[in-house]
């Protein structure tokens, strides 16, 4: 069984989430965490997925308000050992529920091409042409809540 938690910025769970994000999202691309960016994260919502049997963090994401209607999901990561078990789907569904509860009507994200199919399965649609950030190709994807 898994559960979802809100993670407090600066807590030990937050550090675990940073480690997971680094391992899954940054390290494979040869990117580093910028301390200046980390400070901005104080105002973001951090969500973690915990395996109840081990109490380990196995996934997470962040939610960043864009304006009064739109919120952006970023840094979606599931531990490679736990991918393909439905955790990513449940994580996004939890993020959607949270976003709706706090008053947002649209969720957006910049998806790497390798995961566009994952978000399409969850009801997101492509909303932009291909664009490049730090040498990586993305498309903007959107879902009305
Ligand atoms: C993308 C990611 C979050 C998916 O998490 P996951 O737990 O493996 O996904 P799930 O098991 O919940 O998959 C849900 C569905 O999406 C499908 N799916 C998973 N990854 C997919 C992909 N990359 N492309 C297309 N479909 C995918 C699954 O087959 C499953 O389909 P089904 O419901 O028909 O069985 C995870 O693989 C990951 O962390 N990847 C590395 C980091 C990353 O690329 N993050 C996104 C940054 S934009």
Q: Which atom of ligand 1 is nearest to the CA of 115?
A: 23
Ligand 1 proximity of 89 Cβ (cutoff 6 Å): yes
Asked, for residue 56, whether it belongs to a domain, the answer is: yes
Q: State yes or no: pLDDT of 34 exceeds 80.
A: no
- Determine, yes or no, domain membership for 83: yes
Q: What is the CATH number of the domain that holds 30?
A: 3.40.630.30
pLDDT digits (tens, 9 = 90+) for 93-133: 999 999 999 999 999 999 999 999 999 999 999 999 999 98
| Count of structural domains within the chain | 1
* Banded pLDDT at 33 (limits 50, 70, 90): confident
Whether residue 73 lies inside any domain: the answer is yes
Which of these, 131, 126, 130, lies nearest to 142 by C-alpha position? Answer: 126
Using CA atoms, how far apart are residues 132 and 140, in angstroms rounded to an integer? 11
Question: Is 128 inside any structural domain?
Answer: no
Which residues neighbour 89 within 8 Å (Cβ) at sequence distance 6 or greater?
Answer: 121, 122
Q: Is residue 123 part of a domain?
A: no
Confidence at residue 18, expressed as pLDDT on a 0 to 100 scale: 95
Write out the residue range of the structural domain in which residue 59 sits: 2-108
Q: Closest ligand 1 atom, CA of 79?
A: 39
| Mean pLDDT value of segment 3-29 | 95
Is residue 126 within 6 Å of ligand 1 at its C-beta? no
Residue 129 in any domain: the answer is no
Query: 3-state class of 85 per DSSP?
Result: coil
pLDDT at 31 over 90: no
Instruction: State which ligand 1 atom lies nearest to the alpha carbon of 111.
Output: 48
Residue 3 Cα to ligand 1 middle (Å): 18
Confidence of residue 32 (pLDDT cuts 50, 70, 90): confident
Q: Is 25 in the pocket of ligand 1 (CB under 6 A)?
A: yes
Question: Is 8 within a domain?
Answer: yes
- Do the Cβ atoms of 107 and 145 come closer than 8 Å? yes
Q: Per the domain annotation, does 127 fall within a domain?
A: no
pTM attached to this predicted model: 0.95
- Is 90 exceeded by the pLDDT of residue 38? no
What pLDDT sits at residue 39? 83
């Amino acid at each position: 069984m898994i559960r979802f938690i809100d993670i407090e910025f600066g807590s030990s769970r937050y550090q675990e989430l940073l480690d997971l994000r680094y391992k899954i999202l940054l390290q494979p691309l040869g990117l580093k965490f910028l301390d200046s960016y980390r400070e901005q994260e104080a105002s973001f919502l951090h969500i973690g997925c915990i395996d109840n049997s081990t109490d380990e963090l196995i996934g997470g994401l962040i939610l960043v308000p864009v304006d009064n209607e739109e919120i952006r999901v970023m840094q979606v990561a599931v531990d490679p050992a736990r991918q393909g078990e439905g955790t990513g789907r449940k994580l996004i569904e939890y993020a959607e529920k949270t976003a709706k509860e706090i008053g947002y009507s649209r969720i957006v994200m910049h998806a790497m091409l390798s995961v566009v199919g994952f978000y399409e399965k969850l009801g997101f649609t492509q909303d932009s042409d291909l664009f490049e950030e730090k040498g990586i190709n993305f498309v903007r994807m959107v879902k009305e809540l």
